Amino acid sequence: MMKRIAVFTSGGDAPGMNACVRAVVRTAVYHGIEVYGIMRGYSGMIKGEFVRLDSASVANTIQKGGTILKSARSQKFQTREGRQQAFDQLVNNGIEGLVAIGGNGTFTGASLFEEEFGIPTVGAPGTIDNDLYGTDYTIGYDTAVNTALEAIDKIRDTADSHDRCFFVEVMGRDSGYIAMPCAIGGGAEIVMIPETQMSTEAVVESLKSSWRRSKTSFIVVVAEGEEEGNAHTVAQRVKEAIPQLDTRVTIIGHIQRGGAPSAADRLLASQIGIAAVEGLLNGMHNVMAGIVDRKLVYTPFSDTINKKKLINQSFMRMVEILSV
């Protein structure tokens, strides 16, 4: 059995990463193995920024946003030479297994690294984007959606008070996973996401139609990766088409990454942190731990990287029905 493992966070930070680190550390302690934290992801792995962690190290971290292990990009890890240095550091520190918390970029690196150097790695899906195959939800997603939704609730106050049309941009470069529940939960009239390619013309038609039914305030949720352009561009075009509409734009932005994780994210992060360590101890490697239909599953990194998790198609219809 392994005697010493290490855990790190990589990619954009997500609420619940600390809850996951905590679960990794305490599961290791529970099973009598040593655990190190690697600071700043692959960058710190190359530089040997290792910190011994014990149960007390992660006390009072479950509710903290961000990541106590920090995160950083590493150009060097993309080179064979950089990965060799990282491996040497692990060997020198007696690390026999890794838990990698992050998204697809993290797992692509982890997968390549394991194939080259044979160090067993289990991934934990830590990203607000929820765009990972192999788990229903990623760690941080539920919190990010709630944060964006609270912002939309506040914007709705102002939209109603002034009879305005707000274009609210939420995160989601490749998918509408964040935008969709924000639109449904925020009572938005329209949602624009990469998956559906709604044209600005269609947005204009829909707003005109609502206007005729004497609606006077509107929320349009726009995913940042929307191909018609970002919220500013779309708002500008709509304003040109309907000059009497009083339009405003809000980019929710980085606020979505921070804050104390929700209950669901703390629970998910804890489940996955335990599963990652126990997976490693049971010989799992080159896989991501996830929860699908409330059951623990391990999915090969190759699948999480290459397969696409599709958004629930019924959601588009829900927005249409609910904004009647």
Q: Which residues are annotated as a binding site for ADP?
A: 22-26, 156, 187-189, 213, 215-217
* Packed helices 80-92 and 104-117: angle between N→C axes, nearest 10 degrees: 70
User: Which string of x and - marks every residue 20-59 that binds a second copy (by CB under 8 A)?
Assistant: --xx--xx-xx------------------------x---x
Is residue 62 a contact point for a second copy (CB under 8 A)?
A: yes
Contact 34, 28 (CB under 8 A): yes
Is residue 94 a contact point for a second copy (CB under 8 A)?
A: no
129 is annotated as an active-site residue: yes
Distances (CA, A) of 66 to 7, 120, 128: 15, 26, 12
CA distance 166 to 156: 8
Piece in contact with a second copy (CB under 8 A), picked from 77-85, 90-98, 115-123, 182-190: 182-190
Is residue 151 a contact point for a second copy (CB under 8 A)?
A: yes
Piece in contact with a second copy (CB under 8 A), picked from 86-94, 162-170, 199-207, 227-235: 162-170
Contact 38, 69 (CB under 8 A): yes
Is residue 72 a contact point for a second copy (CB under 8 A)?
A: yes
Piece in contact with a second copy (CB under 8 A), picked from 102-110, 180-188, 219-227, 302-310: 180-188
Q: Name residues contacting a second copy, limited to 104-123 (CB under 8 A).
A: none
Q: Name residues contacting a second copy, limited to 220-249 (CB under 8 A).
A: 248
3-state secondary structure of 289: strand
- Listed residue (69, 70, 128) closest to 103, CA to CA: 128
Give Cβ neighbours of residue 60 (< 8 Å, ≥ 6 apart). none
From 129, 131, 142, 265, active-site residue:
129
CA 195 to chain centre: 18
Query: Of 17 and 119, which has the nearer Cβ to a second copy?
Result: 17
Please give the full DSSP string across 29-53, using - where no structure is assigned: HHTT-EEEEETTHHHHHHHT-EEEE
Count, residues in the chain: 324
Contact 202, 171 (CB under 8 A): no
The conformational region for residue 271 under phi > 0 = left, psi -120 to 50 = alpha, else beta, is: alpha
**Binding site: which residues?**
12, 22-26, 73-74, 103-106, 127-129, 156, 164, 171-173, 187-189, 213, 215-217, 224, 248, 254-257
Q: Name residues contacting a second copy, limited to 264-323 (CB under 8 A).
A: 264, 266-267, 270-271, 274, 293-294, 312, 314, 318, 320-323
Q: How far is the CB of 5 from a second copy (least distance, A)?
A: 15
Is residue 153 a contact point for a second copy (CB under 8 A)?
A: yes
Indicate which single residue of 2, 51, 251, 297 sits in contact with a second copy (rule: CB under 8 A). 251
Is residue 209 a contact point for a second copy (CB under 8 A)?
A: no
* Residues taking part in catalysis: 129
